A and B are shown apart, each in its own frame.
Chain A
Amino acid sequence: MLTSWLGPQQATTPLVYHILLALLASGVLLYLLHRYLGPRGRRGLIVVATFLFGLFFGLEYFLPVRTKTLWPTGLPNVGGSAGNLLTPGIEPMSNILAVIGAFTVGLGVYSLVQVHGRNVLRRRAGWYNSFAFFLSFFAMFSFGLWQYSLHLPEPIPPTLTLTQRIANDGYEILFQGLYAPLQAATFSLLAFYIASAAYRAFRIRSAEAALMMVAAFIVMLGQVPIGAWLTRGIPNEGAIALLRLENLGEWVMRSLNSPAQRGIALGVAIGALAMSLRVWLSLERGTFFAEQK
């Protein structure tokens, strides 16, 4: 039974029926949960699901490595001999999480349509920006789906029918000609933002800022040829070699910067462990966890 549910499906029934059946079942389940579970029931369900999923992944990590598994034959032997009895369950569990995540993409699109739809319908200030959203959304969605449905070979052959040409060129113009350059242009803005942020950070207003300025100056000079040229007179052997700017820069990074970064990382790791325990045991204060009285 478990194998037939979680294992690879046989090609006896078309995939589309499986998808439709799963969607219908999910819809009914969600309706029933929404209809009959009050806030307390929902919170209880979340607490139990969080605990069980956390327990599964935690045990999978901590149990000793064994070849024997709890799972029926027919499931992909994930992890093989390097796994333990729970390792083959990782993939089905991850699939469940991916499916739940996929449902929320629809919620994201719904949120966008709701916000921008209201802007357009009520002619709010800047409504034309929202209209541009709908235009670009439907253009990218239509051409993306159309091009995908044609299953064109890679690389694209020079002899395409007119329909194939329109679908492919439309998609290429929107994606490679518009979307990708816009992404690259935004990324390139970072260079200017880094320069302006660095200017403010390096202004000497206190002893700490002066120290940072000096350290940054050494590290930056150590990275460029002029740094090595400036201190070329210092021998590259013995203890005095540390005074060469390229060596001094590396020393600052390796002996001062790295330990500080590791210290922060250590604190973050312990903090994340404590937070994980609080979430797993539903001790955290927040939306889905009862508040302390």
Chain B
Amino acid sequence: MGSLEHANWFMRVLFFALSAVIVASVLLAQRGRAMFIRRIPGLTAIEEAVGRATEMGKPIFFSPGIDGIGITTLQALAILSYIVRLAAARMTRVLVALRDSTVLPIAEETVREAYDAAGRPEDYRPDDVRFVSDEQFAYALGSVGMMAREHTATHFLFGGFYAEALILTENGRALGALQVAGCPDPVQIPFFIATCDYVVIGDEYFAASAYLTREPTLTGSLVGQDIGKAVLVALIVAGIVMATVLGGGTPIVATLLGKGG
């Protein structure tokens, strides 16, 4: 049984400092402090992509990736909720293909609540949220089958993707769909850039719910994570200077890089 590795004192300090920065930003935003978020083209394109499907009178396809329940998938479901609200208001169907059965009940609830929130609970169809297969390539082919049979006009792929990503997006492209993808894994991003119309890159993925909803709590969290990034960059520069001047084997440098305990 692999117990988790444990944090050393530096990681504890860093984690609590970063968490404090994020929570402080959230509190400031909740008290009305205006926060600026730069434009993210991939997320701005969501509305245009939903509109395209509505104009063509065809459904939308959404995949939350092939990961199980985790931070990446939860973020994908938050984006799904936004997309379904937009689509429901315009009477456009959203087909959701799932690989992990643990995600199924949460995705069903997300879609149902989004239809409720859009004031169209009667438009919710249980068949539109489908568990396809828990096998990676069977899932990819099943999803491509859904795209082809239902003549989907827009494809959203947000979540954890691996080798199946190209099967989904290349076929989606061949079908003439407008494709918007987002994945936190840097390895998959080039494949999406090559095959999709808009791509949400790296940490933009985790900015999605804040960007789309502009709710103060989420916006504050986003600004907090940007401050945290600046802190980390400063620490990296400090580490480079220390390792260069003092040497990598110096006790302070070795301690910071050392094992948990």
The interface of chain A, by Cβ under 8 A from chain B, is: 57, 60-65, 76, 78-79, 82-84, 87, 90-91, 94, 100-101, 104-105, 107-109, 111-112, 114-115, 118, 125-126, 129, 183, 186-187, 189-190, 193-194, 196-198, 200-201, 261, 264-268, 270-279, 283-288, 291-292
- Residue pair A189, B194 in contact (C-beta under 8 Å): no
- Residue pair A190, B163 in contact (C-beta under 8 Å): yes
The interface of chain B, by Cβ under 8 A from chain A, is: 1, 3-7, 12, 15, 18-19, 22-23, 26, 68, 71-72, 74-75, 77-78, 81, 101-102, 104-106, 109-110, 113, 126-127, 129-131, 134-135, 137-138, 140-141, 145, 149, 163, 166-167, 169-170, 184-186, 189-191, 193-195, 201-203, 205-207, 209, 213, 215-218, 221-222, 224-225, 228-229, 232-233, 260-261
- Residue pair B170, A105 in contact (C-beta under 8 Å): no
- Residue pair A267, B26 in contact (C-beta under 8 Å): no
- Residue pair B216, A292 in contact (C-beta under 8 Å): yes
Question: Chain B residues near A283 (CB, 8 Å)?
Answer: 26, 217-218, 221
Write the nearest CB–CB distance from B138 to chain A, whole angstroms: 8
Question: Chain A residues near B134 (CB, 8 Å)?
Answer: 108
Question: Chain B residues near A200 (CB, 8 Å)?
Answer: 194-195
Question: Chain B residues near A291 (CB, 8 Å)?
Answer: 215
- Alpha-carbon distance A193/B195, docked complex (angstroms): 10
Chain B contact residues, majority secondary structure:
helix
Q: Do A270 and B74 contact each other (CB < 8 Å), given the known contacts A65-B6, A91-B1?
A: no
- Residue pair A78, B1 in contact (C-beta under 8 Å): yes
29 A-B pairs with CB atoms under 8 Å apart are: A60-B4, A65-B260, A76-B1, A78-B1, A82-B3, A104-B101, A104-B102, A108-B104, A109-B101, A111-B131, A112-B130, A114-B127, A115-B130, A183-B137, A186-B137, A186-B138, A187-B137, A197-B166, A197-B191, A197-B194, A267-B229, A271-B207, A278-B218, A279-B74, A283-B26, A283-B218, A285-B218, A286-B78, A291-B215
